């Protein structure tokens, strides 16, 4: 299948904000290495999962693929063309085809805009449809995402809706321009447990119907399992393992992936964990550990791990791991 | 086993400008010494409100309008402010969801431990108090030097461990943990649950674990209470509830969560969303979403029925 999006050696370093005096005497600038040399591709019609703990750089990566942030280095090719080569105006045109669903449906909807207006807003920006056509299209998409009766909900404000409905509004707004590529940044993390399954099913169904390609960002491995075709596991700004979902879950090769899989709480009282959980927490991305970034917490770390940085090597079909083991 | 807490027909209401929020309606619950009770439900189901009312920490306008809460036979609802103060922290401790907002950023960890200690043990010397904080940190797996640091210098997992340490320093026998792992990452969450399990044996604790995460409950709880829309839905042994949920809500909840160890091709979804507690639906609060709703469910609220060694509030078992 054809690649829709290719990410190569992408880096994003955020300069550390310091006080004036500190800046005067500082020897060199310090950076938070949020994303450090990340490469992957997404094929047309695929759901690529980006999984990791908070602070691993998954959201930053997601934003870079839509050029919501400018990278420090590296490139993102969309349909074989670098998205960073577009002018500001051209990029705005591109946004019609590249959309995002944010995590928090409370923060991403204006409390003063009726939801019908909010959903139709991208059309006002991207097309020259008149008001009646916009409303028609809006009602149509609202029914599609399960906001029915659409004509009744059209005039409602976000505070009059439930959390699940609000997230449907955000999804509808992202889909109204008929995009090809959608970045879903933890779209169900804020929803109630009983609503999550429904939103997940909705996203799968919409993907089929609209022929979408997703970059699905999540910290929940169990969630990723339901929707993703392939997953990339991130740790401290790096991809440590990438491959087909089934393969990665069945034969995890990186110690970090194994740990993550073991740590997921299993809703079964008879289940007992067999893989040990390492001590300690994710270190700071300002001065990441030398060598392999996971080595201080790794149970099978060797002497080379704190000196050299492992590259991604193929361990199975389309399955790559950055580990010396 | 001895009963430590007995809640009888508790109702907590929040009168607000548009009506009364019936956050907890007619909930009865018994807690045995040494058990871990998982209190499960979605946001707004009243689980946290129930937790807060046990310590009488409800924020106004919330108040207990009905019921009894017998702690070792004494009714918490009827206690004077003085009596409840001697209970809080000393006998019943509570830890909250977000450790960053529960710790004071301006005080060192040791000062915060000492404040807790001196409030309840006026004659304690400073050195002795410091010692006790040190010992506590050791049993939490944190190096005692960290006592001299401020909350911002600690990681999220450590802060949450400090919180539980502060809760336990006065040797309470009941711990209420309100979503203790929600702000933690998966690996740290697993570490924390292991720690909680260890501390529980060491301190002979009775724990009420309030959470929406059924995975956490499965790993830790002996018994489970499921709440929905302010009411009690099902109470029973954890194994029994996970194996064979009786109430349609429990059944829906359990089959709608992804389990990483199972091959479920499709998740079962529950239509609708949780009820509005100002105008709850008549009859059973769950009936608008219930796949097995009957005529009686729309009209009359079900009582709590015994079935298969469990308590279920559903007409199917009435």
Q: Do A194 and B274 touch (CB under 8 A)?
A: yes
Residues of A in Cβ contact (< 8 Å) with B187:
53, 259-260, 263, 277-278, 281
Q: Using CA atoms, how far apart are residues B209 and B190, in angstroms rounded to an integer? A: 15
Which helix (H) or strand (E) covers residue B113, if one does? helix B109-120
Residue B156 lies in a domain: no
Residue A218 near residue A286, CB atoms below 8 Å = no
Collapsing DSSP to helix, strand or coil, A117 comes out as helix
Specify if B152 maps to a domain. no
Q: Is B191 on the interface with A (CB under 8 A)?
A: yes
Mean pLDDT of B175-179: 93
Indicate which CATH number applies to the domain containing B257.
Answer: 3.40.50.300
Query: Best residue in A49, A54, A193, A252 to probe B by mutation, most B CBs within 10 Å?
Result: A193
Residue of chain A minimizing CA distance to B153: A284
- DSSP secondary structure string, A193-259? HHHHHHHHHHHHHHHHHHT-EEEEEES-HHHHHHH-SEEEEEETTEEEEEEEHHHHHHS--SHHHHH
pLDDT at A27: 67
pLDDT class of A217 with cuts at 50, 70, 90? very high
Supply φ then ψ for residue B123, to 5 degrees.
-90, 0
Residue B180 lies in a domain: yes
Environment class of residue B166 by beta-carbon count within 10 Å: exposed (0-12), middle (13-18) or buried (19+)?
A: buried
Tokens 């724990």 belong to: B207
Let me know if residue B59 belongs to a domain. yes
Which among A193-202, A301-310, B25-34, B257-266 has the top mean pLDDT? B25-34
Asked which of A51-55, A119-123, A220-224, B181-185 is least confident by mean pLDDT, the reply is: B181-185
In angstroms, rounded to a whole number, what is the distance separating the alpha carbons of residues A322 and A305? 11
- CB–CB of A221 and B260 under 8 A? yes
Is residue B26 assigned to a domain? yes
Number of domains in chain B: 1
Of B114, B115, B50, B53, nearest to B84 by C-alpha is B53
Per-residue model confidence (pLDDT) at position B235: 96
B195: in domain: yes
Residue B266 has pLDDT above 80, yes or no: no
Phi/psi at A313 (5° precision): -120, 150
Is B45 inside a domain boundary?
Answer: yes
Core vs surface per residue A80-109: b (16+ CB within 10 A) or e: eeebeeeeeeeeeebbbbbbbbbbebeebb
Largest CA distance in chain A: 68
Residue B275: closest C-alpha in chain A: A162
Q: pLDDT averaged over chain A?
A: 90
- Residue in A225, A267, A281 closest to B157 by CB: A281
pTM for the model stands at 0.87
Asked whether the beta carbons of A162 and A105 are under 8 A apart, the reply is no
Residues of A with Cβ-Cβ distance to B244 under 8 angstroms: none
Distance CA A182, CA A46 (A): 11
Closest partner residue to A267 (CB to CB) among B141, B158, B218 is B218
CB contact at 8 A, A266 and B219: yes
β-bridge pairing A230-235 and B36-40? unpaired
**Closest-CA distance of chain B to residue A16, Å:** 17
Residue B203 belongs to a domain: yes
Report the alpha-carbon distance of residue A205 to residue A280 in Å, rounded. 40
Q: B residues 230-289 near A, CB within 8 Å?
A: 238-239, 242, 252-254, 256-261, 266-271, 273-274
In whole angstroms, what separates CA B155 from the centre of its chain?
24
Mean pLDDT of B142-157: 91
Q: Which residues contact A286 (CB under 8 A, 6 or more apart)?
A: A16, A30, A31, A32, A33
Question: Which structural domain range is residue B39 located in?
Answer: 3-91+172-317
């Amino acid at each position: 299948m054809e690649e829709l999006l290719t990410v190569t050696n992408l880096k994003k370093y955020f300069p550390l904000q310091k006080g004036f005096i500190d800046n005067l005497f500082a020897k060199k600038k310090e950076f938070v290495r949020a994303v450090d040399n990340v490469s992957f591709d997404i094929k047309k019609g695929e759901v690529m999962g980006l999984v990791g703990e908070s602070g691993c750089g998954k959201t930053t990566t997601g934003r870079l693929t839509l050029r919501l942030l400018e990278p420090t280095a590296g490139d993102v090719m969309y349909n074989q063309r670098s998205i960073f080569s577009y002018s500001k105006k051209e990029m705005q045109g591109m946004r019609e085809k590249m959309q995002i669903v944010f995590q928090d449906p409370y923060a991403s909807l204006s409390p003063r805009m009726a939801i019908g207006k909010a959903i139709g807003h991208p059309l006002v920006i991207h097309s020259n449809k008149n008001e009646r056509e916009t409303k028609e299209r809006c009602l149509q998409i609202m029914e599609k995402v399960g906001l029915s009766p659409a004509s009744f909900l059209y005039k409602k404000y976000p505070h009059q809706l439930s959390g699940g409905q609000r997230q449907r509004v955000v999804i509808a707004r992202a889909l109204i321009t008929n995009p090809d590529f959608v970045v879903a940044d933890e779209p169900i993390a804020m929803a109630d447990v009983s609503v999550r399954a429904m939103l997940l099913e909705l996203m799968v169904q919409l993907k089929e119907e609209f022929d979408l390609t997703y970059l699905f960002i999540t910290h929940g491995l169990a969630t990723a399992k339901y929707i993703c075709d392939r997953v990339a596991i991130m740790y401290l700004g790096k991809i440590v393992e990438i491959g087909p979902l089934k393969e990665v879950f069945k034969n995890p090769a990186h110690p970090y992936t194994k740990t993550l899989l073991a740590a997921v709480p299993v809703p079964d009282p008879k289940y007992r964990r067999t893989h040990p959980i390492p001590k300690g927490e994710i270190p700071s991305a300002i001065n990441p550990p030398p060598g392999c970034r996971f080595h201080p917490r790794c149970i099978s770390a060797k002497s080379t791990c704190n000196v050299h940085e492992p590259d991604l090597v193929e361990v199975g079909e389309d399955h790559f791991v950055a580990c010396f083991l | 086993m001895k009963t430590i807490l007995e809640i009888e027909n508790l109702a907590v209401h929040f009168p607000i400008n548009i009506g009364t929020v019936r956050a907890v309606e007619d909930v009865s619950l018994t807690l045995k010494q040494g058990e871990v009770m998982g209190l499960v439900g979605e946001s707004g189901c009243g689980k946290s409100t129930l937790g807060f009312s046990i310590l009488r920490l409800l924020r106004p306008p919330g108040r207990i309008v009905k019921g009894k809460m017998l702690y070792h036979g004494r009714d918490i609802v009827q206690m004077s402010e003085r009596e409840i103060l001697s209970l809080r922290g000393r006998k019943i401790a509570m830890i909250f969801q977000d450790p960053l907002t529960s710790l004071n950023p301006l005080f060192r960890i040791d000062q915060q431990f000492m404040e807790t200690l001196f409030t309840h043990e006026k004659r304690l010397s400073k050195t002795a108090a410091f010692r006790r904080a040190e010992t506590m940190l050791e049993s939490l797996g944190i190096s005692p030097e960290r006592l001299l640091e401020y909350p911002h210098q600690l990681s999220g997992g450590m802060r949450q461990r400090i919180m539980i340490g502060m809760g336990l320093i006065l040797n309470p026998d009941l711990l209420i943990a309100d979503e203790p792992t929600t702000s933690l990452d998966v690996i740290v969450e697993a570490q924390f649950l292991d720690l909680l399990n260890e501390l529980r044996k060491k301190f002979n604790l009775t724990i009420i674990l309030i959470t929406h995460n059924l995975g956490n409950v499965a790993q830790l709880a002996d018994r489970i209470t499921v709440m929905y829309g302010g009411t009690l839905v099902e109470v029973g042994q954890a194994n029994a509830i996970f194996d064979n949920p009786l109430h349609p809500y429990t059944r829906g909840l359990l089959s709608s969560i992804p389990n990483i160890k199972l091959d479920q091709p499709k998740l079962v979804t529950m239509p609708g969303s949780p009820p509005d507690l100002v105008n709850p639906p008549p009859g059973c609060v769950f009936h608008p979403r219930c796949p097995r709703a009957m005529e009686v469910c729309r009209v009359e609220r079900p009582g709590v029925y015994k079935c298969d060694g469990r308590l279920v509030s559903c007409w199917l078992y009435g």
